[in-house]
Structure 1
Amino acid sequence: MRILIGCETSGIARRAFAALGHDVWSCDLEPAEDRSNRHMICDIRDGILTEGWDMLAVMHPPCTRLCRSGRRWMSGPGKWTPPKQLPRGKSWDDMKTDFAEGVDVFTTCWNAPIARRAIENPEMNDLARDAMPPDLPKPQMVQPFWFGEPAYKNTGWYLDGLPDLTPTDMLEEPERDSAEWREWNKVHRMPPGPERGRLRSRSFPGMMQAAAAQWAGHATQEVAG
């Protein structure tokens, strides 16, 4: 299978699919952390989506203005009214520009001429849903601990031509407010800093190994059948 991993610099998803023998490339505006020669530094919207891929997995498209938690920065009561507060150093026009960028990246990938697509994104706020294609399904929400990763991070997958992920190594959840529970929540408890966004968006290897096995396996069977 020819597989494109979009919006990823860590190489975690790329390596998971490549380990199963697939022809896998990643792309992002930034270089790959592992300096792989199978990583392209480019905007995913600049023509690469038409290069004959069998599957597209978009890992971390810009979603800060699309997610439910970011709604309060976008609008006040109703829709598209001035918000009560803005992030430091940002204007409302900045918010709208960021929002439009997130929508454009997501919709360009969703409408790509590729038979099988998986786009990672949180549950969207009402403003984002209004701007999405009418055929966009609800996301499948999964957790890292379904795949042997001792962590909480509610992860949404918008899927087309691919099956929902099935848990592979379900861990027992720790007692709420215990030290282990707090450790599982470390993604959400990261302090502010220049690396926070990048670290919070990193894929979990266990989840991506399951995705590689299940999605590529499904696609291979489809092609063979």
Structure 2
Amino acid sequence: MRRAFAARGHDVWSCDLLPADDGSNRHIVGDVRAQLTGEWDLLAVMHPPCTRLCNSGVRWLTTPPRNRTLKEMWEELREGAALFSDCWNAPIARVAVENPVMHRHAKALIRNYQPPACTVQPWWFGDPAFKATSFYLRNLDPLTPTNRLTPPKRGKDPVLWAEWSRIHRASPGPDRWKLRSATFPGIAAAAAAKWSPLVEEVA
């Protein structure tokens, strides 16, 4: 997302607990909440961790995975909802928060929760993949498809279906979270194209 907005000439920074994969010097290592001040005058696009918020993981709130407890699962849910809340309610004029489809427990814990403005698929923007992604938007317009591909049919071409599903259905492993959290280039480009003109008007 940072690279997509930078390509349009914006002064863009990313923030994460880990260093930037591309080695960029326009990246802050740390808790994003330390950066959510009134100093950002245009736009923040945030991707808080969704492990306990997303609908696909709601089952762990009743039957925890091996070597984990229900108490731990619910505590992680509360921590995730608190982080999402801080991002969503940041004192910034225009905010976009990206997350997968949420379950009802997460929605109940988020301050000033509002439904996502849009839920999109990577293949709507030229990336051959399945992964429903929701954008919670404040003072920004929803994304619209820019390059719709034709998705494969599961029974007709199982090999191609599996390739399109490799991120959505990634196997368990130490890097699964990182693979699933990556922003697809087509979605990032569409966001930059959609929202840049709006912020450029007041720059």
- From 161, 165, 174, the counterpart of 2:139: 161
TM-score, normalised with respect to structure 1: 0.84
Q: Aligned residue for 2:89?
A: 111
Report the Cα distance in structure 1 between the residues aligned to 2:92 and 2:119, rounded to whole angstroms: 23
The answer to whether the Cα contact below 8 Å between 1:62 and 1:101 also exists between their aligned partners in 2 is no
Report the Cα distance in structure 1 between the residues aligned to 2:176 and 2:115, rounded to whole angstroms: 29
- Paired AA for residue 185 in structure 1: S
Q: Aligned residue for 1:87?
A: 65
Q: Alpha carbon RMSD of aligned pairs, Å?
A: 1.4
Q: What number of residue pairs does the alignment pair up?
A: 200
Distance 1:128 1:135, change over 3 A: closer
Q: Aligned residue for 2:163?
A: 183
**Alignment pair present for 1:25 and 2:13:** yes
- From 115, 127, 151, the counterpart of 1:137: 115
Which has the higher mean CA deviation after the structures are superposed, 32-41 or 85-94? 85-94
Task: Provide the secondary structure at the position in 2 that maps to 1:45.
Answer: helix
Uncovered stretches (5+) of structure 1, i.e. residues with no partner:
1-12, 75-82
TM-score, normalised with respect to structure 2: 0.93
Task: Provide the secondary structure at the position in 1 that maps to 2:131.
Answer: coil
- From 187, 190, 194, the counterpart of 1:214: 194
Report the Cα distance in structure 1 between the residues aligned to 2:182 and 2:113, rounded to whole angstroms: 28
- Paired AA for residue 190 in structure 1: A
Task: Provide the secondary structure at the position in 2 that maps to 1:24.
Answer: coil
Matches within 5 A, 1:44-63: 44-46=32-34, 48-53=35-40, 54-59=42-47, 61-63=48-50
Q: Aligned residue for 2:2?
A: 14
Report the Cα distance in structure 1 between the residues aligned to 2:172 and 2:150, rounded to whole angstroms: 30
How far 1:138 sits from its partner (Å)? Answer: 3.1
Q: Aligned residue for 2:148?
A: 170
- Paired AA for residue 69 in structure 2: S
Q: Aligned residue for 1:70?
A: 57
How far 1:188 sits from its partner (Å)? Answer: 2.5
How far 1:139 sits from its partner (Å)? Answer: 4.2
Q: Aligned residue for 1:204?
A: 184
How far 1:41 sits from its partner (Å)? Answer: 0.5
Report the Cα distance in structure 2 between the residues aligned to 1:207 and 1:100, rounded to whole angstroms: 28
Which has the higher mean CA deviation after the structures are superposed, 17-26 or 138-147? 138-147
Report the Cα distance in structure 2 between the residues aligned to 1:135 and 1:29, rounded to whole angstroms: 25
Matches within 5 A, 1:29-40: 29-40=17-28
Aligned sequence identity (%): 50
User: What whole-Å deviation, never above 9, does each CA across 1:101-132 have from its counterpart, x for those lacking one?
Assistant: 10111000111110111111122111111112
How far 1:157 sits from its partner (Å)? Answer: 0.6
